[in-house]
Chains A and B, each alone.
Chain A
């Protein structure tokens, strides 16, 4: 329900730049996933938007309004923290009620009860409402902490790896649930994760961060199919993109130093021979670890493949990505 715009946002922690001149517009109602390794600045961006930290330079705008000088409460945002910071002296219900009872909202009790029960239902914690917050498992705590964000209707949701400590089944349930909630409410959501599946399935936009700089911003498909650099290309895709010297196969542009091959860029059954080093049956797909002229390549193949370790498999690149010496993409 609000566009979030970061303009020239910079923040130093000591001598390291946590954020380096970030310009980013998160469109109204979009689901933006921030990707990048630890220390790339993902969480720092969330903290700047929420108002928990203030930038050294630059401005944050929510719904077109500058946020400088506004407290977190005044910004109408909500945040799910990486460490589930439930209030330990309250039970689950009190935790969920807490934002609704704030002096800003002063929700009537009937409305509070309705909201809390509804959210508890979605997050499958209805039976735990009267438990002490400290008497929950890690996954339950994290669900309560997501719930505390969902009981409100803020203009922006901020989530810092909210699903990281859940088991696989619950994670995929909540992934769909979160996506639905966001799509139905039309709220803007900025989401930090390491999980590529979360990024690909939930995001309308992905922002790739590297050492406090925004490397690329676009739809998940853009990032996947049209990455600006090796770094951005490595953020998405399972198995990861294979990067090998450009002269390994013929036909590379002259400026190319390396060639990036996603599994679908490796055509099997044509070209020169590689050796199968390992076959991993994952059920819905099978991964092949290949040795091609001394370089390791990972690709996927038919789930019911007959290939075995030591077999020969001819391969050739098919529309691969080329990168120059600095790792930047060549058109």
Chain B
């Protein structure tokens, strides 16, 4: 049998393939279970043994987006025939839809706060990283370490001071407050990651642009930024994932106007053990991060392997 150090044999390829597929299944299984649960009826969702094959229903999604009122049989018959498919679903349980739920608002809050803080972290992070990378900053190493050190304790450790500060400043339960908080937590990560990326961009490119008649800011904007796109994209994904999924501060600091989806979704359970609605809420909550990641995936892959691969 011939032997090559670079070309795997077909048996090795099969083995590697099975390993990867197996691992992918293992990690994706909980996700599939949540997505499936979203389409189950409440009784199927808690059936034992668990049902893998079930009759799909949109009940969970209807319950997620609506609030319902139970009516007496008389009142129900007075209400007339159900007008829409979602009306029909709730009528089975002797209920009528009395209005929209708060999920939509909470979801929108998550979008505003998540993307808002991601944008701010990237914006400030890129400028700071560029400064640290290119200019002679006094105490540069100490400052960089200081920035990193803000990440060394769990942010929740300072929850009480932040809670008091926010109350004093009127930032409790506001979009601005949450955006600032998540930005503050993400900023150390974004400065460090982006500095690494910008360090890798040869300074000659900017020097060439300076000679070609551009100011430093124009050189930054026209030459450095396009080349840092990879780093910016992957840093943005990390920042978004953090602020999108953050739970503890959201529970603590938001209750109404600025409440994000993560603290809201579990509260659905209080309205009658409605696991499918919770699962539906979680499923929809996954979508924006997934779309964002898929859109930037080319950059992300490049970003994770950055530095390892020579250009």
> Do A and B make up one complex?
yes
Residues of A within 8 A of B202 (CB): 83, 85
Residues of B within 8 A of A72 (CB): 207, 210-211
Nearest residue, chain B, Cβ from A102 = B213
Q: Mark A46-87, 1 if CB is under 8 A from B, else 0.
A: 000011100000000000000000011100011101010101
Contact A87 B213 (CB under 8 A): no
We find that the number of chain A residues with CB closer than 8 angstroms to chain B is: 24
Contact B213 A104 (CB under 8 A): yes
Contact size class for B? 10 to 19
Determine if A99 is an interface residue (Cβ-Cβ < 8 Å): yes
Q: Which of B204, B213, B223, B227 sits near A73, CB closer than 8 Å?
A: B213
Residues of A within 8 A of B226 (CB): 89
Determine if B46 is an interface residue (Cβ-Cβ < 8 Å): no
Contact A81 B213 (CB under 8 A): no
Instruction: Identify the interface centre among B213, B215, B226: most chain A CB within 10 Å of its CB.
Output: B213
Residues of A within 8 A of B207 (CB): 52, 72, 81, 85
Contact B215 A71 (CB under 8 A): yes
Residues of B within 8 A of A103 (CB): 213-215, 218
Residues of B within 8 A of A73 (CB): 210-215
Q: Please provide the chain B residues from 192 to 225 with a CB less than 8 Å away from any CB of chain A in the complex.
A: 202, 204-205, 207-216, 218, 223
Determine if A249 is an interface residue (Cβ-Cβ < 8 Å): no
Instruction: Identify the interface centre among B205, B212, B214, B311: most chain A CB within 10 Å of its CB.
Output: B212
Residues of B within 8 A of A134 (CB): 311
Contact A87 B211 (CB under 8 A): no
Q: Please provide the chain B residues from 257 to 288 with a CB less than 8 Å away from any CB of chain A in the complex.
A: none
Residues of B within 8 A of A168 (CB): none
Nearest-neighbour CB distance to chain A for B202, whole angstroms, equals 7
A250 to B207, CA, bound (A): 56
Contact B210 A85 (CB under 8 A): no
Contact A83 B204 (CB under 8 A): yes
Q: Mark B210-251, 1 if CB is under 8 A from A, else 0.
A: 111111101000010011000000000000000000000000
Which B residues contact A (CB, under 8 angstroms)?
A: 202, 204-205, 207-216, 218, 223, 226-227, 311
* A-B residue pairs, 10 tightest by C-beta: A102-B213, A85-B204, A99-B212, A104-B213, A72-B210, A89-B226, A85-B208, A73-B213, A79-B211, A72-B211
Which A residues contact B (CB, under 8 angstroms)?
A: 50-52, 71-73, 77-79, 81, 83, 85, 87-89, 98-99, 102-105, 134, 148, 152
A-B pairs with beta carbons under 8 Å apart, 6 shown: A71-B215, A73-B212, A73-B214, A81-B204, A102-B212, A148-B208
